[in-house]
């Protein structure tokens, strides 16, 4: 790929930083997992690199979270991974559209065209480069009915009904794979649009392909998920095996994801000069027994500045463990919201924080 | 550093893959966080690279988990990060030794030596290269009492009592920082060995330093944690600020960590030809309402092969949803351990799995 981040290392070897993670996952499968019982389900989360002009939502280093299901060419396998991608994006409360297609349809249309030319056509379709596509079809002298059919197929986007239109274009294609997939997705109430013009950029896809687009917030770089069924194992010397999977564009999703981590209570332990070890011991007990965010002074600040720091970081509770309190085996706990103040044992405080 | 993984990119720029994460964290601090209220507490988990001969526990790509506490030079800050490192390693149930030292002691001994020579001595001490150290001290004509003192200091390893020995070697050094640190760590029941010969490899350390070593399983590459207090912000154009932190060697820890993820129940949904959507719907409900590991056939296998697969993967429960069951709104659930078999509604099964 042109975009690959490649260089020579100190001993002159040609090295590339990985541009995606499906190929590394399949290499790992070939090297270590070929003998395992199928199907295999792998997931990954890692950084990838491309040598490209950085722009909003498109960085030279980016993160992918992905899943590969290895060993099945059944539409059930596609249904499993598509519904998983759908569940993940829903769990993240994203506003997205899921588009599903099948590269087999366009390839079937192109079956009389030489392989490298067909690949180039698929790439132009993937890039939505209509002008480039038309020019190239002219250049290779594609017959006009083929051109019409390609244009018609690319435009087929909508509900399951578009399959009927597709059948009119390629009546000898077997649509049962797509139909079973739709049956299962419908049973799972997955909302999707059939989009028979999805070509994906890479040659390794063999059948069902899918992409998800964010509805807002990402401009032109709105694709947040891409996947499909493919064959790659042979590239790494493995036995040919069907697989299907997807990757989520983590950076783009982070950009639009509105879910915030659950807020924990912040507890500031005020420590007195000479009693710092006690403050640390109290902090340690609360940390080990609750999920509160516990802060103890590490600056050697005086009491007044510790209290003002507690204010700055919007602490929920302030714990004061002075000499008097410690002698009674108690601590003073001040609620920073209500201003209420009370003496508690550490265990009582832990119980309160835990409830 | 010699070990840095460096290369020229396609446009001829000199690039290095990051060899560690403290410097990038401090660069981020200087660029984006200098105005935030101190102290700042950052953590990271990322891959690093070194160009070195790979060996057991020492890879060209390795992972570090680390923490930096920025803004304090107090011994309390050192106590906070050391006790955190200790808690993490304990939570991972590792069998380790925690060694704590202070580079100020050796530097104090070397204060009459030129800076670059002193640095070289520190590095030789860090590498435990006794022969190299002796040769170099000869080469620069170090006085014999200095040599004796260095050797004595390096050998000071043990309980807090070694501080008394150190005081005899450098009576004009202020030991109160180390003593306060020990007070707090003792209060927190942190088990540690004072090791006044720890020099750390990098020049940026300024005071307390610490390392943890696995007791078993890693051979010579047994260091699993390293850290200390340092000053780095000025390298990135920032205002000078004290900081303290540590990094854990993730790959080495993964090698020896015996903690296994909690085992979840595995439930296999057997799907019948023509009823695959029903099987997926049942799987979906169980997945959404329990934390069970739910498997549904994605291979298009017949019932017999699905059951034998359930056996292979040691499923706890097998759910059979045939025509008869579905008509009654029930499923047959077989306990693969006891062999017991019963008819339940999906909700009853979910309640059972949840309890």
Answer whether B80 sits within 8 Å of A298, measured CB to CB: yes
- In the three-class reduction of DSSP (H, G, I as helix; E, B as strand; rest coil), residue A73 is classed as coil
Residues of A in Cβ contact (< 8 Å) with B312 = 37
Residues of A in Cβ contact (< 8 Å) with B80 = 280, 296, 298
Chains A and B form CB pairs within 8 A to the count of 110
Residue with tokens 């059939």: A194
Answer whether B187 sits within 8 Å of A277, measured CB to CB: yes
Residues of A in Cβ contact (< 8 Å) with B297 = 76
Residue A121 has pLDDT above 60, yes or no: yes
Answer whether A39 sits within 8 Å of B299, measured CB to CB: yes
Residue range B287-303, pLDDT digits in tens: 999 999 999 999 999 99
Percent of residues, chain A, with pLDDT higher than 90: 82
Answer whether A278 sits within 8 Å of B7, measured CB to CB: no
How far is B112 from chain A, CA to nearest CA, in Å?
A: 32
Residues of B in Cβ contact (< 8 Å) with A280 = 76, 79-80, 83, 184, 187-188
- A39 cis-preceded (ω within 30 degrees of 0): yes
Alpha-carbon gap, residue B285 to A189, rounded angstroms: 12
Helices H, strands E: what count in chain B?
13, 15
Q: What is the DSSP string of A26-69?
A: HHHIIIIITTSPSPEEEEEEEEEE--S--BTTB-SEEEEEEEEE
How far is A120 from chain B, CA to nearest CA, in Å?
A: 26
Helix (H) / strand (E) element for A228: namely strand A223-230
User: What is the distance, to the nearest Å, from the Cα of residue B2 to the centroid of all Cα atoms in its chain?
Assistant: 24
The upper half-sphere exposure of residue A275, i.e. CA atoms within 13 Å in the direction of its Cβ, equals: 18
Tokens representing B218 are 């890693």
How far is B198 from chain A, CA to nearest CA, in Å?
A: 24
- In the three-class reduction of DSSP (H, G, I as helix; E, B as strand; rest coil), residue A255 is classed as helix
First and final CA of chain B: distance in angstroms?
56
Asked if A270 and A321 touch (Cβ cutoff 8 Å), the reply is: yes
The predicted pLDDT at position B244 comes to: 98
Of A10, A37, A300, the CB nearest to B313: A37
The predicted pLDDT at position B11 comes to: 82
Residues of A in Cβ contact (< 8 Å) with B15 = 7
Residues of B with CB under 8 A from a CB of A: 5-10, 15, 37-39, 47, 51, 69, 71-72, 74, 76-77, 79-80, 83, 180, 183-184, 186-188, 276-278, 280-281, 284, 288, 296-300, 309, 312-313
Answer whether B298 sits within 8 Å of A77, measured CB to CB: yes
Tell which residue, A261, A269, A258, A259, has the closest CA to residue A313: A269
Q: Provide CB contacts within 8 A for B9, sequence distance 6+.
A: A5, A7, A51, B15
Average pLDDT over residues B302-307: 95
Residue B1 has pLDDT above 70, yes or no: no
Answer whether B298 sits within 8 Å of A187, measured CB to CB: no
Nearest-CA residue of chain A relative to B12? A7
Answer whether B277 sits within 8 Å of A186, measured CB to CB: yes
Q: How confident is the model at residue A253 (pLDDT cuts 50, 70, 90)?
A: very high
Residue range B169-228, pLDDT digits in tens: 999 999 999 999 999 999 999 999 999 999 987 778 999 999 999 999 888 889 999 999
Alpha-carbon gap, residue B50 to B334, rounded angstroms: 53
Of A7, A72, A187, the CB nearest to B277: A187
Q: What is the DSSP string of A156-193?
A: -EESTTHHHHHHHHSTTS--HHHHHHHHHHHHTT---E
How far is A170 from chain B, CA to nearest CA, in Å?
A: 26
Residue A15 has pLDDT above 90, yes or no: no
> Which of A50, A76, A275 to probe by mutation at the B interface, max B CB count within 10 Å?
A76
| Helix ranges (DSSP H) in B176-275 | 176-187, 250-256
Nearest-CA residue of chain B relative to A294? B80
Tokens representing A180 are 């079973």
> How big, in percent rounded to 5, are the helix, strand and coil portions of chain A?
40, 25, 35
Asked if B85 and A313 touch (Cβ cutoff 8 Å), the reply is: no
Q: How confident is the model at residue A1 (pLDDT cuts 50, 70, 90)?
A: low
Flag whether the pTM goes above 0.80: yes
Alpha-carbon gap, residue B265 to B216, rounded angstroms: 33
Q: Provide CB contacts within 8 A for B74, sequence distance 6+.
A: A298, A299, A300
Tell which residue, A340, A344, A342, has the closest CA to residue A329: A344
How far is A255 from chain B, CA to nearest CA, in Å?
A: 18
- Higher model confidence: residue B157 or residue B127? B157
How far is A8 from chain B, CA to nearest CA, in Å?
A: 7
How far is A197 from chain B, CA to nearest CA, in Å?
A: 26
Of A76, A83, A278, the CB nearest to B276: A76
Q: Provide CB contacts within 8 A for B117, sequence distance 6+.
A: B140
Average pLDDT over residues B153-182: 96
**What DSSP designation does B259 have?**
-
The upper half-sphere exposure of residue B156, i.e. CA atoms within 13 Å in the direction of its Cβ, equals: 27
Answer whether B297 sits within 8 Å of A76, measured CB to CB: yes
**What DSSP designation does A9 have?**
-
Average pLDDT over all residues of chain A: 93
Residue range A101-110, pLDDT digits in tens: 999 999 999 9
- In the three-class reduction of DSSP (H, G, I as helix; E, B as strand; rest coil), residue A202 is classed as coil
Residue range A315-330, pLDDT digits in tens: 999 999 888 888 888 9
Helix (H) / strand (E) element for A266: namely strand A266-270
- Least confident range of A9-18, A337-346, B221-230: A9-18
Of B8, B187, B284, the CB nearest to A280: B187
- Higher model confidence: residue B275 or residue A263? B275
Alpha-carbon gap, residue A74 to A89, rounded angstroms: 24
Q: How confident is the model at residue A158 (pLDDT cuts 50, 70, 90)?
A: very high
């Amino acid at each position: 790929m042109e975009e690959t981040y490649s260089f020579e290392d100190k001993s002159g070897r040609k090295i590339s930083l990985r541009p995606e993670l499906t190929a590394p996952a399949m290499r790992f499968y070939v090297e270590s997992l070929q003998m395992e019982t199928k199907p295999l389900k792998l997931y990954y989360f890692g950084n990838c690199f491309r040598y490209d002009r950085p722009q909003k939502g498109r960085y030279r280093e980016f993160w992918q979270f992905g899943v590969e299901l290895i060993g099945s060419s059944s539409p059930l396998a596609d249904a499993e991974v598509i519904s998983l991608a759908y569940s993940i994006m829903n769990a993240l409360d994203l506003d997205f559209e899921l588009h599903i297609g099948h590269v087999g349809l366009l390839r079937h249309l192109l079956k009389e065209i030489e392989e490298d030319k067909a690949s180039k056509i698929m790439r132009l379709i993937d890039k939505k480069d209509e002008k480039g596509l038309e020019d190239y079809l002219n250049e290779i002298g594609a017959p006009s009915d083929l051109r019409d059919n390609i244009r018609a197929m690319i435009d087929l986007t909508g509900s399951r009904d578009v399959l009927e239109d597709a059948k009119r274009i390629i009546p000898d294609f077997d649509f049962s794979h797509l139909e079973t997939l739709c049956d299962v997705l419908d049973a799972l109430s997955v909302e999707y649009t059939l989009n028979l013009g999805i070509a994906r950029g890479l040659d390794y896809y063999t059948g069902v392909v899918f992409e998800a687009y964010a509805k807002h917030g990402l401009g032109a770089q709105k694709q947040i998920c891409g996947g499909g069924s493919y064959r790659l194992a042979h590239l790494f010397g493995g036995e040919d095996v069907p697989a299907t999977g997807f990757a989520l564009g983590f950076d783009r999703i982070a950009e639009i994801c509105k879910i915030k981590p659950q807020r924990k209570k912040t507890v500031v332990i005020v420590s007195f000069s000479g009693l710092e070890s006690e403050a640390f011991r109290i902090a340690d007990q609360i940390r080990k027994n609750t999920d509160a965010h516990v802060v103890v002074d590490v600056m050697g600040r005086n009491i007044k500045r510790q209290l003002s720091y507690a204010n700055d970081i919007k602490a929920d509770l302030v714990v004061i463990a002075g000499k008097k309190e410690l002698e009674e085996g108690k601590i003073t706990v001040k609620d920073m919201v209500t201003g209420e103040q009370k003496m508690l044992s550490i265990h009582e405080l832990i119980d309160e924080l835990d409830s």
